Amino acid sequence: MAWTLTGDVAEYLTTAGDFLRSRAAENTVQLAATETVRVRGPAAFGDEAPLFGWWAAPGGPVTAAFMHTPPFGVTLTPAPAGVAAALAETFAARGRFPAWVMADTATAPSFAAAWERHTGQPARVGRRSRLYRLGRLLPPDPGPPGRARVATAADSGLLLDWLEAFGREADDHGAHDLQRTVADRLSYGGLTLWEAGGGPVSMAGLTRAVAGQARVGPVYTPPERRGQGFGGAVTAAVSQAAKDAGVGEVLLYTDLANPTSNALYQRLGYEPVSDSVQLLFLPALTPRGVRKP
């Protein structure tokens, strides 16, 4: 058996789509990203072509799948250690170097260990995340002053600034094209602002709805506006908007190193689903132990 690779998102979804949708919540990142590529084309995230793949026994069902959409890293479904290792070997043989891998806490280390064997690149933990699913929405009561509104093209400058600030605070990795991100989100109403005191004070995003689910994020409030309930209010607003639009499952990820956001989202009615880890690949070591540039 071997991994089957394709750059064609339609082929990928035809073959692996049912597998991804069978656990739509856990595969929310792949489902949302492939929908973006399907709608916006292969340059949706960057200039380097995306790559997709699946693992299946001859004549058998798909049992694992991955997505690599540069400048982002590899997102990999749960897979046995040997299957994850085979993917790392396949990437190394093709000379394809992802910035990171994100998977569950058993699969990601298996990929990373094989990657280091084949390339000499060790890994370090970038972020430990927890996936949450909305149960019964519990908006802040009392809520802060203000109201939510869907962002428009006139807000693009502010949105770019806030997304850049969010990336710095989240220690986001990869040279993302934020203008491309903003344009895509605005094309379907995927960014919402909370306004109070005459202007925007917080922001929340929402992915396209696909397979009956959508994911909240990013959520950002400038430091000088924090502690006033705006982040919770805008999160509740986009969560309710998704439910009103008929989305069956509303999801979000939190950084496990941030107890404030984890507590906030649970107060809003979000319930834990699963944990994942992002492993970043470092430059290879020379025989003397000095990292190559």
Give the residue extent of every domain in the chain: 4-130, 136-268
H helices present in the chain, as ranges: 9-22, 28-40, 81-94, 107-119, 156-169, 178-187, 230-244, 259-267
pLDDT score, position 290: 38
Q: Could you give the maximum distance between any two Cα atoms of the chain, in Å?
A: 62
Q: Please check whether residue 278 is in contact with residue 73, taking contact to mean a CB–CB distance below 8 angstroms.
A: yes
Please state, in angstroms and rounded to a whole number, the distance separating the CA atoms of residues 82 and 105. Answer: 15
Please state, in angstroms and rounded to a whole number, the distance separating the CA atoms of residues 285 and 289. Answer: 5
Using one digit for the tens of pLDDT, what is the confidence trace for 55-110?
999 889 999 999 999 999 999 999 999 999 999 999 999 999 999 999 999 999 99
Q: What is the dihedral of CA 238, 247, 212, 136, to 10 degrees?
A: 90
Which residue stretches of the chain have pLDDT < 50? 286-293
Task: Tell me how crowded residue 271 is: count the other CB atoms within 10 A of its CB.
Answer: 12
Q: Please check whether residue 48 is in contact with residue 81, taking contact to mean a CB–CB distance below 8 angstroms.
A: no
Q: Is the dihedral of CA 103, 108, 110, 112 positive or negative?
A: positive
Using one digit for the tens of pLDDT, what is the confidence trace for 8-30?
999 999 999 999 999 999 999 99
pLDDT score, position 286: 43
Q: Please check whether residue 238 is in contact with residue 192, taking contact to mean a CB–CB distance below 8 angstroms.
A: yes
Cis check: omega of the bond before 218, within 30 degrees of 0: yes
- Phi/psi at 64 (5° precision): -160, 155
Q: Which residues contact 290 (CB under 8 A, 6 or more apart)?
A: none
- Spell out a b/e string for 89-98, using b for 16 or more CB atoms within 10 Å of the CB, else e: bbbbeeeeeb
Q: Which residue has the tokens 């989305």?
A: 247
Tell me which CATH code domain 136-268 carries: 3.40.630.30
